[in-house]
Structure 1
């Protein structure tokens, strides 16, 4: 019974691990700031790019919130 339980536990852990690895792309964007002005969002995005904090970035207007969201 212990061997069966050990094999089942290993199978469940391996299955869960394979699902979590494929869940997000390697270079997923994350939210890095919320700004009222587009120019401020652009300035911070460009600064972060210059500092090497991220490779690419974009400012996206969310009309339901009336703010710009910086994704990098």
Structure 2
């Protein structure tokens, strides 16, 4: 089951990256920084990234077709 989950998450990340290539200008400066199952986990990592100085701002976006939250920073 773990291998299947790892393959699924990898596929979602690749699909997310392909979505970013065709992103609108509003997200042109944002990059995909993570993929998460829950909103709380996405928000926690986003806030941690701000606290660590990895990025200045972030957004967690639910992608219903993938059923994951995408962290853009």
The 4+ residue runs of structure 1 with deviation greater than 2 A are none
Q: Partners of 1:62 and 1:33 in 2: how far apart?
A: 13
Inter-partner Cα distance in structure 2 for 1:70 and 1:40 = 10
Structure 1: any 5+ residue segments left out of the alignment? 1-23
Secondary structure, counterpart of 2:42 in structure 1: helix
Larger Cα-atom Rg: 1
Paired positions, count: 48
Structure 2: give runs of 5+ residues left out of the alignment. Answer: 1-24
> 1:43: how far off?
0.2
Deviation at 1:51, TM superposition (A): 0.3
Report the CA distance between 1:60 and its aligned residue: 0.1
RMSD between superposed Cα atoms in Å? 1.8
TM-score under structure 2 length normalisation: 0.62
Query: How many angstroms does 1:48 deviate by?
Result: 0.2
